[in-house]
């Protein structure tokens, strides 16, 4: 997999298997004084879901924080280089492993930056274990069945729910260079010209990992979707939200409604013009600037 210079791969063991993460260890981020590096506060980056997702999603952003923070960016279970158990993944699998990951890698409450459906899981993890979280900075946090919508009843979800056909669709339509490029250009990004070959290569490498279809198909079938609006009022951790105005899956009006449910916790809602689902890949410099701003605001 593609990772930034000076970052190395480490891992922990969760209840579902080995979870890989990336953290700065070498030049130009770290000197030989290991103690100095360990004194830095921790900042966690969690990627979203989709065919070929991995920590690469944040790799144009998290190096900007490596001199000030002990950055850790995992591949979630079922994605990237982490273990891919052959199972039908459920919502609690990810809420629990997010909690386990933070328990094992952090020794104090931490700010967490998370994306899309994973950001919605992170909200639920923060409700369950607020002691682990200092603040949340989220891009497009949505359960994909919000305010009574039911994604699992959608036409595409019903097709993918068909045995045998689901794996055929994954191998021929998702885990291919053409399939990934088409999805990124037409559904994930607001501007197709922002999709360059390295992004396609990184998603393809993750999508073609052994058993890579299990988590992806659980996501596309709707097994991992839920109504986030039912949980928002329970959140007490200070939160900032970014939302691309051209997100294909859930538009910013959903984000504004979710934020309005709990203005005490959601301190900032920032819509971004001409951006799709992943501003961290489309406009990384803007995303870096906003994360820095939100880290200060949410202290």
Model pLDDT for residues 219-270, shown as the tens digit of each residue: 988 899 999 999 999 999 999 999 999 998 899 999 999 999 999 999 999 9
pLDDT above 70 as % of the chain: 92
Instruction: Say how many domains are in the chain.
Output: 1
Query: Across all residues in the chain, what is the average pLDDT?
Result: 92
pLDDT band at 205 (very low <50, low <70, confident <90, very high): very high
Strand order in the sheet with 7-14: 7-14, 17-24, 70-74, 42-46, 110-115, 133-139, 239-244, 266-272
Predicted local confidence at residue 163, as pLDDT: 61
Query: What CATH code is carried by the domain that includes residue 221?
Result: 3.40.50.1820
Of 128, 135, 130, give the one whose Cα is nearest residue 96.
128
* Least confident span in 28-37, 229-238, 284-293: 28-37
Residue 1 within any structural domain of the chain: no
Looking at residues 83-100, what average pLDDT do you find? 97
Residue 184 within any structural domain of the chain: yes
Q: Compute φ and ψ for 133, nearest 5 degrees.
A: -120, 130
Residue 198 within any structural domain of the chain: yes
Predicted local confidence at residue 168, as pLDDT: 67
d(CA 16, CA 219): 17
Looking at residues 269-295, what average pLDDT do you find? 97
Looking at residues 55-81, what average pLDDT do you find? 97
Residue 241 within any structural domain of the chain: yes
Residue where the block lists tokens 């001409």: 274
Residue 90 within any structural domain of the chain: yes
* Separation in Å, CA 123 to CA 126, 134, 258, 281, 285: 5, 12, 12, 22, 25
Structure tokens of 115? 């994306």
Domain coverage including residue 194 = 7-297
Residue 200 within any structural domain of the chain: yes
pLDDT above 90 as % of the chain: 82
**142 pLDDT exceeds 90?**
yes
């Amino acid at each position: 997999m593609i990772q930034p210079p000076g970052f190395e791969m480490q891992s922990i063991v969760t209840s579902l298997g080995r979870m890989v993460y990336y953290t700065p260890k070498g030049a130009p981020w770290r000197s030989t004084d290991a103690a100095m590096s360990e004194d830095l506060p921790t900042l966690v980056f969690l990627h979203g879901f989709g065919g070929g997702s991995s920590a690469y999603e944040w790799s144009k952003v998290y190096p900007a924080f490596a001199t000030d923070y002990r950055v850790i960016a995992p591949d979630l279970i079922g994605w990237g280089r982490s273990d891919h158990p052959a199972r039908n993944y459920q919502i609690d699998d990810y809420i629990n492993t997010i909690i386990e990951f933070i328990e094992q890698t952090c020794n104090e409450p931490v700010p967490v930056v998370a994306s899309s459906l994973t950001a919605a899981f992170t909200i639920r993890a923060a409700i369950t274990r607020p002691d682990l979280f200092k603040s949340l900075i989220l891009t497009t946090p949505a359960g994909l069945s919000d305010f009574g919508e039911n994604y699992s009843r959608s036409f595409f979800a019903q097709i993918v729910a068909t045995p045998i056909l689901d794996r055929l669709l994954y191998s021929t339509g998702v885990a291919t260079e053409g399939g990934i490029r088409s999805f990124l250009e037409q559904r994930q990004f607001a501007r197709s010209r922002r999709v360059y070959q390295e992004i396609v290569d990184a998603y393809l490498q993750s999508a073609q990992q052994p058993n890579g279809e299990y988590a992806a198909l659980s996501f596309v079938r709707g097994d991992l979707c839920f109504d986030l609006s039912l949980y928002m009022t329970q959140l007490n951790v200070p939160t900032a939200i970014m939302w691309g105005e051209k997100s294909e899956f859930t538009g910013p009006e959903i984000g504004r409604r979710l934020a309005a449910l709990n203005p005490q916790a959601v301190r900032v809602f920032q819509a971004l013009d001409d951006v799709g689902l992943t501003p961290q890949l489309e406009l990384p410099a803007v995303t870096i600037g906003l994360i820095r701003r939100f880290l200060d605001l949410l202290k």
